Structure 1
């Protein structure tokens, strides 16, 4: 089991002075752009409302996920084992990390989703693939809108430089369904049992929706330097947006990839649906020239998304993978370090 971090939950006084940014996508575009950039710079995390994803699509995807996770263990194993795609339980990644979670990790493209639906639901594969494909299509559109707002807000000449990567037919984007069962014990020390340990997301951007059960926590970069986990109140009608490592690298560290984890609820099951927006495996990720200045010298070397995935699978959960690609101030070579 992943052991809960020794970092305490945020003190009451800090909670009162800290809040999750909420961005209303029905607001004036200039205001949306400003808020998205500020949120990604300061926290790497925000909540988005009036996002345009129909609630019925989210509910149908949630119902399909609940139906799958309710199957007997042997039935669920047909969709796995995760290597890395498929069904997994307890085991996270390839380096021995574990957590109190079972999950289904799927490619976020229509043909692959439809093909894998036969291993997920033999009686109603069309129902599952239809729900998943419509959901992915809607959240991909939302991700593109957010990324284009970022492009505008950062003053990039090519405002579609991020969104074009996930519109690519060879995009390596994923859909992850996480199911956290409640704690079996009522002991006091089970209150912070970790379902999914501390980490950052490697992709460009993450869109997360969950049911109404608490569990998501983020680690804000407070200036005091005191590590403290902040619990995020669930909102099934909204999406939470997380900056990924790839976006941090492409913006030369101006936008920050947020560290987060999931805690198991003591009484209720938690279901989260996570869309990871990623480029194709051969896409080159490097600081955009406009993000490199005298005041902010180049921080990262050039690497492909395939390079980064290799680095991701070579490390335990929680390691800072971007450190492998940092530029040495005394080094002219810009090849990856792996």
Structure 2
């Protein structure tokens, strides 16, 4: 990852986009932007048919808006205010929490920065585990995050159960799915991201296109400040298009990650997404990631495997998969896919 202090550029007072942050047009416009006809599914997860709707959204889109999610609005506002306080601090203060000694937690550029020749128009705090969160943020802006962690983990468990039900598993079979049995031991992390206003948004990117490695990502984003886009695959007659995932009142964004793609034997789509920037709005987001305990191998659920062809993917642990992504980035998922049998 590029050094944070060397040639660091102050995004908040910028009058231009320097070459270090200037992306080629071919990268920024690799796919067209979808028109108004493309609509991300909005699902009330308290609905009796929520499992079917959530499953359908994850098969066709890999992302949906969740309503009736149970996270108190005032808690989300507190998290957003806390993030704004952190990002408003002077750079030298934020750099005091840069990751050290192998820790993932702390201030820095997007974790995917190492895979790209240009820098992104954003900064973030990675908080991998509640104790690390306190160690990082207590140095800068005290905030009791335990309630947020508990609420997000509870919501993730609720969503995960709906997804497993949508795959046709009964109660006994659900009890045999490792991640559900050990959800209380699940690994999780929070990523706070800041996307400052940009004087030349047509030359910059807030977060380059990628998929997430975890099972699920649950995202809160600033009201009124758009920027998140997902890549919507079309049929053979049309090319893929970027679709805006605009903030919606009382909604959280839920997207499928690579490990859930593997667990579902390819039924649920790990969705490619990015964040664009603009001249007018400073966007803040808080993403919660949940995955399996570090020791657990994730493979395709047996009931979903065609016995004639076998599973699509070989089992991997989350740390093992992260190691593969470190080497191969967006080709990691394909690298753990079994070759098709003739």
TM-score (structure 1 length as normaliser):
0.85
Q: Which residue, 25, 33, 36 being the options, matches 1:10?
A: 33
Q: Does 1:49 align with 2:54?
A: no
Does the 8 Å contact 2:198/2:279 carry over to 1?
Answer: yes
Distance in 2 (CA, whole Å) between partners of 1:165 and 1:43 is 27
Q: Which residue of 1 aligns with 2:214?
A: 203
- Whether the 8 Å contact between 1:23 and 1:47 is mirrored in structure 2 is yes
Cα deviation, residue 195, structure 1: 0.5
User: In 2 relative to 1, CA 89–23 (structure 1 residues): closer, same or farther, beyond 3 Å?
Assistant: same
| Alignment partners' CA distance in 1, 2:106 and 2:81 | 18
CA distance in 2, matches of 1:90, 1:51: 27
Bigger Cα displacement from structure 2, 112-121 vs 272-281 = 112-121
Q: TM-score, normalised by structure 2?
A: 0.84
8 Å Cα contact 1:243-1:257 kept in structure 2 = yes
Q: 1:10 to 1:96 in 2, by over 3 A?
A: closer
1:222 aligned partner: 234
Q: Given the alignment of the two structures, is residue 269 of structure 1 paired with residue 282 of structure 2, yes or no?
A: yes
Instruction: Indicate if the aligned counterparts of 2:113 and 2:120 stay in contact, CA closer than 8 A.
Output: no
Deviation at 1:329, TM superposition (A): 3.3
Separation in 2, partners of 1:196, 1:209 = 16
Q: CA deviation at 1:53?
A: 0.6
Structure 1 equivalent of residue 335 of structure 2: 324
User: Is 1:181 the counterpart of 2:201 in the alignment?
Assistant: no
User: Retained in 2: the 8 A contact 1:43–1:258?
Assistant: yes
Structure 1 residues 11 and 71: alpha-carbon distance in aligned structure 2, compared to 1, 3 A threshold:
closer
Residues 164 and 5 of structure 1: is their aligned pair in 2 closer, same or farther, counting only changes over 3 Å? farther
* Number of positions where the alignment pairs a residue of Structure 1 with one of Structure 2: 310
* Aligned counterpart, 1:107: 128
Q: 1:192 to 1:234 in 2, by over 3 A?
A: farther
Residue 87 of structure 1 corresponds to 107
Gaps of 5+ in 1: 332-338
Q: In the alignment, is the contact (CA less than 8 A) between 2:325 and 2:331 conserved in 1?
A: no
Structure 2 CA distance for partners of 1:255 and 1:80, relative to 1, 3 Å = same
Deviates more, 1:282-291 or 1:297-306: 297-306
| Cα pair distance change 1:275/1:256, threshold 3 Å | same
For residues 293 and 111 of structure 2, the distance between their equivalents in structure 1, rounded to whole angstroms, comes to: 26
Unaligned runs of at least 5 residues, structure 2 = 1-20
Counterpart among 172, 177, 181 of residue 187 in structure 2:
172
Between 1:191-200 and 1:139-148, the stretch displaced more is 191-200
Residue 336 (structure 1) aligns with: none
CA distance in 2, matches of 1:293, 1:329: 12
Q: Which runs of 4+ in 1 moved over 6 A?
A: none
Q: Point out the more displaced range, 49-58 or 233-242.
A: 233-242
Q: Tell me by how many angstroms 1:235 deviates.
A: 2.2
C-alpha deviation, 1:295, in angstroms: 7.5
Between 1:306-315 and 1:322-331, the stretch displaced more is: 322-331
Cα distance between partner residues in 1 of 2:110 and 2:259: 27
CA contact (8 A) 1:209 1:236 kept: no
- 214 and 222 in structure 1: CA distance in 2 versus 1, 3 angstrom threshold: same
Q: d(CA) in 2 for partners of 1:258 and 1:197?
A: 13
TM-aligned CA distance change 1:55 to 1:252, over 3 Å: same
CA distance in 2, matches of 1:164, 1:120: 37
**How large is the RMSD of aligned CA atoms in angstroms?**
2.2
Summarize the Cα distance change of 1:22–1:42 in structure 2 as closer, same or farther, 3 Å threshold: same
Structure 1 segment 181-330 matched on structure 2, within 5 A: 181-185=196-200, 190-191=201-202, 193-212=204-223, 213-223=225-235, 224-235=237-248, 237-294=250-307, 297-316=310-329, 319-329=330-340
Give the SS at the match of 1:23: strand
Bigger drift between 50-59 and 3-12 goes to 3-12
Q: Which of 28, 42, 53 is the aligned partner of 1:35?
A: 53
Alignment partner, residue 46 of structure 2: 26
